[in-house]
Structure 1
Amino acid sequence: MLLASTLRSTTFKLALAAIVTFGVIASAIFAYVYLFTASFVRSRSDQAIMAEYSGLLGAYERSGRRELIELIRNRLAGGSPAEHVYLLVDHASDVLAGNLDKWPSAATAAQGWTEFRAPGAPDAASQPRFRAMSATLPGGDRLLVGTDISDLDSFAAKIKAAVIAIIFLMFVVAVVASILVTQRTVGRIEEINATSRAIMQSGLDKRIPLRGSHDEWDRVAENLNLMLDRIETLMGDVKQVSDNVAHDLRTPLTRMRGRLEKAYHGGRIGENDQALIGDTIADLDAVLGMFSSITRIAHIETQVRKGAFRTVNLVEIASEVVELYDAAAERDGTDLSITGDHEVRVTGDRDLLFDAIANLVDNAIKHGRAGGKIVVACENVDGGAVIAVTDDGPGIPTCERDHVFKRFYRLEQSRYTPGNGLGLSLVAAVAHLHGARIELLDHSPGLQFKLWFSTPAS
């Protein structure tokens, strides 16, 4: 099964194409080495033959046949007949001097190179092979000078066999390595596919196994597992949002139905009807506002609002928010103030930043201590911008801080406070859109909520 998948895989096909390309190049290189080596060895032998041939021919031209015969006899007396070949015959092919019985039948040209086996041997294939230079002298005599090249042929044959063996072994090793590497790749892909099928069948609790090799496949598996963790978290958030929506909508809808039923069955009293309808409209407005907030958060999270980004001054925006909520703070006896630098610039959407700061101030007023103090601070820190909203209320327990940004999530002590649990979700969405980091700190007593804008205004 795995072998069949390996042979069908694109990775294996690409590996084969690479093997063929590399094999052709390597074969061409080895062939060049073989031809160059054989040619070099042969040329050295030919140079030695030509030197000997030229010496004998020069002796003939200086002193004639007798001197040439004497010189050939001296060469044979001092050399090895198995290595060197000398032959001088007259016009009738009678041997005058040399170590061959007769003129080789292969040497038919009047002058030039020739190759032959030792003439007269019963088994020609087993006899030494000679390469020689032959020529017809002015008096009609013919001269042949050569040497045994059997060792050269054997050497060339061994090089040729070695080159063929290396090329064959190279192809075999490359194919085996390609199959093994491809099997490993296909095996890891099959693990991912198997996990994907298990997830589709049973749920998001499955994860891709890691081999601990810390290679690129382990990194892919880690990223996919992180993605599955994120999907599982988002699915949990969706379920929680659905549960919270159902819970939070049940009460206002039930009240609206009861009021409308009361108005339907009761007498027509103008002031009572008007109050009843007014309360119903208020509840409907609250429901519509809830859905409007959900839609806006989703719109922000898709990051389609970056076209409205401009260089803005956080101090101006925060001052407007403080001015807007000053009356509400006074009603609760809360001291609301702004401090920090006079100019803190960031690149962002002014309206969204206003909404985020307004939600933070609104939360501080609602959940802070009555008659307490709220400070909004804008500062330039290390080339970036920071805005902090600090109160002296009960704060948020450390164990709850990872959950307060979820939609509709509300602390137990805030369950009966007006609101729908979407304010901090909107703040988180705006912060993510602007690349800002959120930080929740204890103020002892109270809470300090910070937004760090790491990228300065351009």
Structure 2
Amino acid sequence: MNRLTRVTRTTAFKLSALYISVFTLISAFLLAYIYQNTNQLMSAQVTQTVDAEISGLADEYVRGGVRALVESIDRRARRPDASLYLLTDFAGNAIAGNIARLPSIILDETDGGIRRVQYARLEADGEVERQALVRIFELRGGFKLLVGRDLGDEQHFAELLGGAMRLWLVVIVIMSAVTWLFVSRRVMKRIDGIAETSRRIMHGDLSGRLPVAGNQDEFDRLATNLNDMLERIELLMRGMKDVTDNIAHDLKTPLTRMRSQVETALSEGKTEADLRAALDTTLHETDSLIRIFDALLRIARIEAMAPESGMEPVNISRLIESVAELYSPLLEDEGGALTVDADPDVRAICNGDLVTQTLVNLVENALKYGRLENEPLRLVMACHVDGDRVCVSVTDNGPGIPKSQQDRVKARFVRLDESRSEPGYGLGLSLVNAVARLHGGQLLLQDAGPGLTAQMDFKLAPVEENNEAEDSGNEGEAERS
């Protein structure tokens, strides 16, 4: 009973019941309409046939009198068709025709109107009760003439149509029930899968995803969007957990060091200079902690931003050139070089400020960790179009990163042993990775042989938006001029 109640409350059951009712009513209306119009058409044909018979018999009577009329009726009555004839005298006695018995009250109505009557017809095997449409006229001399048409064919057609109507309604109900069972089971199965996944997620298993059948129906589109949302939620929750774990582990050391310095200053500091030196050291450590928290907050804000936040057509080629102009003198002073290999006037849909920050981070990262002892640092900033994406990369000629560690270094506070001697907190690539994900891409680290290539990709701006951005840039330059 509970299962039946659960099924009847489902949307699939209600929709199926509605469809069954609608289709049944429409089918009944159409069949009734067809029956009514067909019956009217056949009645009109019968009336026309009767009128034609009456006209012919009237001509026979005018030309030859009663004898000619009787001969014509006898001749026509022997034909194997549905026509009916009856000629009676003034006393109601049958003179000619193929009707064996007829209610006497029928012969009394001689107004010439057409009416439906019940009669007995002479057949080879005896009298047969039938229905007919007839007209009755009174002739000179008290004679009465009945001409009609048997309705057997019409009744047979009505029975066939009624049987077809009943069969059609039964088929409609059965097919609707089968369709309901199929749709209900399929829909209920999909909904039960969604409910089961939701329960797993509510119990803390954020890795659960809604099932996708792959037929691109509305359930698949809903499941895909919800899975993307769950992916985003899981990423944010994992990021929060990672931040918490990293803060607990990586910030414990500087905080412990600050406490030790303060305790040492309190216990061993004898002069103002000793205390001031302890305060300066503590202040330096505090600034480092503030910078770490600022970086963490910046990454958290980027990961929490909507994908459309601040997105507009940006000339990536000019942006790369501006960053290169900023750092080229620094590398040239050290004997290195920074070159640009970019397609001209490439525009992408992106947040220009965040992209600039990621390029600066990648260049700064290369300056810190991409140097070789006996070889000057050489950087290449590239920008190329690949299909509908714009690929931006920074390549150095340094020692690179082992392939096994290339995914690991994107996490927060991860620093390889080789880079421990350099200042930093292990958050630069995490920031770049967050910006890449915000733009629907990813940060790829690849061996450059020698060196390392850090690559991001962005959505290519459509030609119309490129032209609009170009026009607005030209107008801005004209105003500044």
TM-score in terms of structure 2 length: 0.80
**What does residue 474 of structure 2 align with?**
none
Q: Displacement of 1:413 after TM fit?
A: 2.9
State the match for 2:246 in structure 1.
244
C-alpha distance 129-101 of structure 1, shift in aligned 2 (>3 A): closer
Query: What SS class does the counterpart of residue 128 from structure 1 fall into?
Result: strand
2:116 and 2:132 in contact (8 A); partners too: yes
Q: Which residue of 2 aligns with 1:357?
A: 359
Shift of 1:253: 0.7
Pairing 1:373–2:377 present: yes
Percent of paired sites with the same residue: 35
- 1:192-207 residue pairs with structure 2 within 5 A? 192-201=194-203, 203-204=205-206
1:416 deviates by: 4.7
Partner of 2:409, secondary structure, is coil
Q: Distance in 1 between matches of 2:434 and 2:209?
A: 29
Q: Is the 8 A contact 1:341 1:378 kept in 2?
A: yes
Say whether the 8 Å CA contact 1:93–1:103 is kept in structure 2: no
Deviation at 1:423, TM superposition (A): 0.5
Q: What is the match of residue 272 of structure 1?
A: 274
Partner of 1:186: 188
Superposed displacement of residue 165, structure 1: 2.4
Point out where structure 2 has 5 or more consecutive residues left out of the alignment: 470-481
Relative to structure 1, the CA distance from residue 118 to residue 387 in structure 2 (aligned partners, 3 Å threshold; closer, same or farther) is closer
Change (3 A) 1:452 1:104: same
* Letter of the structure 2 residue corresponding to residue 441 of structure 1: Q
Q: Residues of 2 paired with 1:281 and 1:62: CA distance?
A: 138
In the TM superposition, what whole-angstrom CA distance separates every residue of 1:11-48 from its partner, at most 9, and x where no partner exists? 22123223322222222222222233333444444333
Count of residue pairs the alignment pairs up: 448
Residue in 2 that maps onto 1:439: 444
**1:404 match: secondary structure:** helix
* Alpha-carbon offset, residue 3 of structure 1: 4.4
Inter-partner Cα distance in structure 2 for 1:13 and 1:160: 29
C-alpha distance in structure 2 between counterparts of 1:180 and 1:381, whole Å:
49
Distance 1:252 1:442 in 2: 34
Which letter does structure 2 place at the counterpart of 1:86? Y
Is the deviation greater in 341-350 or in 357-366?
Answer: 341-350
CA contact (8 A) 1:440 1:447 kept: yes
Residues 171 and 434 (structure 1), Cα distance of their counterparts in 2 relative to 1, 3 Å cut: closer
Aligned letter for 1:406?
A
Distance 1:275 1:351, change over 3 A: farther
Counterpart residue type for residue 89 of structure 1? T
Give the AA of the match of 1:293.
A
Q: Cα deviation per residue 1:151-204 (whole Å; 9 max; x = unaligned)?
A: 431331232122122113312321332133112211221122123223433634
**Counterpart Cα distance in 2 of 1:93 and 1:342:** 113
1:400 aligns with 2:401: no
In the alignment, the residues of structure 1 paired with residue 175 and residue 386 of structure 2 have an alpha-carbon distance, to the nearest angstrom, of 59
1:314 aligns with 2:337: no
* Cα distance, 1:334–1:377 mapped onto 2, change above 3 Å: same
> Structure 1 residues 202, 356: closer, same or farther in 2, change over 3 A?
closer
Partner of 1:427: 432
CA distance in 2, matches of 1:309, 1:71: 99
Give 1:105's aligned residue.
105
- The 1:106/1:410 distance shift into structure 2, 3 A limit, reads farther
In 2: Cα distance, 1:74 partner to 1:381 partner: 98
Give yes or no for contact 1:131–1:149 (8 Å, CA) kept in 2.
yes
- Which range moved further: 17-26 or 371-380? 371-380
What are the superposed Cα offsets for residues 258-290 of structure 1, whole Å, 9 maximum, x if unpaired?
A: 122222333452222222111111111111111
Letter in 2 for 1:352: L
Equivalent residues of 1:256, 1:283 under 8 A apart: yes
How far did 1:92 drift?
A: 3.7
Contact 1:113 1:132 in 2 (8 A): yes
How far 1:228 moved relative to its partner? 5.3
Contact 1:11 1:182 (C-alpha < 8 Å) held by counterparts: yes
TM-score (norm 1): 0.84
Measured in 2, the distance between the counterparts of 1:56 and 1:342 equals 102
Shift of the 150–435 alpha-carbon distance from structure 1 to 2, 3 Å rule, reads: closer
2:133 to 131, 134, 137: 131
CA contact (8 A) 2:439 2:459 kept: no
CA gap 1:65/1:311 in 2 versus in 1, 3 angstroms? same
Does the aligned pair in 2 maintain the 1:208–1:225 contact within 8 Å? Answer: yes
Opposite residue 142 of structure 1, the aligned amino acid is: K
Structure 1 119/214 Cα, relative in aligned 2: closer, same or farther at 3 Å? closer
C-alpha distance 134-447 of structure 1, shift in aligned 2 (>3 A): same
- Check conservation: 1:314, 1:344, Cα contact below 8 A: no
Mapped partners of 2:75, 2:346: distance in 1: 108
Q: Tell me, what secondary structure is at the counterpart of 1:131?
A: strand
Instruction: State the distance in 2 between where 1:218 and 1:48 align.
Output: 64
Contact 1:373 1:391 in 2 (8 A): yes
Task: Show the 5 A alignment for 1:11-26.
Answer: 11-26=12-27
**Superposition map of 1:134-173 within 5 A:** 134-173=136-175
1:93 aligns with 2:85: no
In structure 1, runs of 5+ residues without a counterpart are: none
Q: Offset at 1:83?
A: 4.8
Asked whether the 8 Å contact 1:87–1:98 carries over to 2, the reply is yes
SS in structure 1 of the partner of residue 277 of structure 2: helix
Determine the C-alpha separation between the residues in 2 that align with 1:214 and 1:269: 79
Give yes or no for contact 2:441–2:456 (8 Å, CA) kept in 1.
Answer: yes
CA contact (8 A) 1:389 1:449 kept: yes
Whole-Å separation in 2 of the counterparts to 1:454 and 1:261: 55
SS at match of 1:421: coil
